Amino acid sequence: MIKEFLETANEIQRRFQTEDDEEKQWMIQNSPNPVIAELMKDLTVLSLHVLDAIGKLEPVNGNTISKQFGIPKGSVSKITRKLADRQIILIEHLPDNKKEILFRTTSLGREIYFLHAALHNQIDSNVNRFMRRYEEDELRLIVNSIREIAHTSWIHPNTIVESSAPSQNNSLINEDIERNLNLHSLVVNQDMNEIMVMLGRLDSRSLKKAKTILNDVFFTVYEG
C-alpha cells in the first residue's frame, strides 16, 4: 500500500510541476487584452503573488509584503523592479521620506490582478464543489493530514515545525530559489518528501482512504 501511495505521490509531483503553465494558459485564454497575454509568458507564479499582495494592500511597501505573505525581502525587491519595468506597478516615494518606497498597481497591473483573482475564484469554486462529494470524516482525514504535513519537517521528521512565521533557513532557501530555480517547484518537492513521512503514521484503513481520495481529487477528470 505504501509503495502504491508513493507512486501516486510521484504522479502528483509531476502534475504540480506543470500546474504553473496551466494557470498561465488560463489567464492568457481568458484575457481580452493581448498585452497581458504577452506579459504572462514572462511572469512567474511568485511575481503574480507579489502583484496580488500589492493589489490587496496598495499603497504598500516591500517590508509589509514580505512580512504578511512570507516572501523574502530580496525576492520582493527583484520582482517589484521587474513589474515596474513592465509598467505593471508604479513606484512612489513619500514626500517627507525619500527612502520609503510604496508600490501601486497601474491600470494594466490592476487588470492582471483581477484576472488572477478570477482564476483563483474558479479554482476555489471547483474545489468546494468537488469536496462536497466526501463525508465529514473523510474531509477531516484530509485536513488533519495536510495540517500535519504543513507542520512537519522532512529533514527532521520527528520534529513539528511552527508554521506561523517563515524561519531564517526558509528565507535563505527562498533567496536561492529566486536565483536558480522556480520557488513553486522546490515547495512541491518538499511537500512530496513530507507526504512520505506521514504515511508511516497511518494505519492500513486510513492509507486506503487516502489513496482513494488522492485518486479522485487529482487524477479523475470530471465534466463541469
Asked whether residue 217 carries a pLDDT value surpassing 70, the answer given is: no
Cβ atoms of 87 and 106 within 8 Å: the answer is: yes
3-state class (DSSP) for residue 93: strand
- Domain 31-123 class in CATH: mainly alpha
Q: Read off the pLDDT of each residue in 199-223 and give the average, rounded to a whole number.
A: 63
Q: Tell me the β-bridge partners of 91.
A: 103
- pLDDT class for 220, splitting at 50, 70, 90? low
Cβ-based neighbour number of residue 173 at 10 Å: 18
3-state class (DSSP) for residue 135: coil
Q: Which of 19-33, 110-124, 181-195 has the lowest mean pLDDT?
A: 181-195
Grid cell at residue 92: 512612489
For cell 512612489, the residue is 92
* Overall residue count recorded for the chain in this entry: 224
Q: Read off the pLDDT of each residue in 92-104 and give the average, rounded to a whole number.
A: 85
Q: What is the predicted pLDDT for the residue at 23? A: 82
Q: Which of 160-164, 187-191, 200-204 has the lowest mean pLDDT?
A: 160-164
Domain ranges of the chain: 1-22+134-224, 31-123
Cβ atoms of 5 and 199 within 8 Å: the answer is: yes
Cβ atoms of 25 and 10 within 8 Å: the answer is: no
Contact partners, residue 156, CB within 8 Å, separation at least 6: none
Q: What is the pTM of this model?
A: 0.61
The type of residue at 78 is K
Q: What is the predicted pLDDT for the residue at 113? A: 94
**Average pLDDT of every residue of the chain:** 76
Q: Which of 5-9, 121-125, 143-147 has the lowest mean pLDDT?
A: 5-9
Q: Which of 78-87, 96-105, 198-207 has the lowest mean pLDDT?
A: 198-207
Question: What are 127-145's pLDDT values in tens digits?
Answer: 888 888 888 888 888 888 7
